[in-house]
Amino acid sequence: MAVSNVLREAGYRRPVYYGWWVLAAAALTEMLAIGSTSYAAGLFVLPLQHEFSLSRAAANSAIPILFTGGAIMAALVGRLLDRFPVQWIMSLGAISFGIGLVTISTTSSILVITLSLLLPVAFGFVAVGPLTTTTLVSRWFYRRRGRALGIATVASSGGGIIVIPLLSWAIETFGWRSALIMEALLISAIICTLAIFLIRSGPADLALANHPENTGRQLFDMPQPANGAKENTDAPRWRLREALATVNFWAIAIALAAITAIAQAIVVMIVPYSIELGQSPTAAALLITAFSIAAAIVKIGSG
Which of 291, 294, 251, 30 has its CA nearest to residue 148? Answer: 30
What does the pLDDT average to over 82-94?
Answer: 96
pLDDT at position 236 is: 59
pTM for the predicted model, two decimal places: 0.87
d(CA 265, CA 63): 9
Averaged pLDDT of the chain: 88
Comparing 44-48, 51-55, 212-216, 288-292, the range with the smallest average pLDDT is: 212-216
User: Which residue type, as a one-letter code, is found at position 241?
Assistant: R
d(CA 113, CA 101): 9
CATH no. of 16-207+241-302: 1.20.1250.20
Q: Count the residues in the chain.
A: 303
**Residues 227-251: pLDDT tens digits?**
444 444 455 567 778 888 899 989 9
pLDDT at position 229 is: 46
Domain ranges of the chain: 16-207+241-302
pLDDT at position 11 is: 45
SS3 string of the chain? CHHHHHHHHCCCCCCCCHHHHHHHHHHHHHHHHHHCCCCCHHHHHHHHHHHHCCCHHHHCCHHHHHHHHHHHHHHHHHHHHHHCCHHHHHHHHHHHHHHHHHHHHHCCCHHHHHHHHHHHHHHHHHHHCHHHHHHHHHHHCCCCHHHHHHHHHHHHHHHHHHHHHHHHHHHHHHCHHHHHHHHHHHHHHHHHHHHHHCCCCCHHHHCCCCCHHHCCCCHHHCCCCCCCCCCCCCCCCCCHHHHHCCHHHHHHHHHHHHHHHHHHHHHHHHHHHHHHCCCCHHHHHHHHHHHHHHHHHHHHHHC
Angle between helices 247-276 and 45-52 (to 10 degrees): 70
The more confidently predicted of residues 227 and 142 is: 142
- Angle ∠(55,58,62) on CA atoms, nearest 5: 145
Banded model confidence at residue 8, pLDDT cuts 50, 70, 90? very low
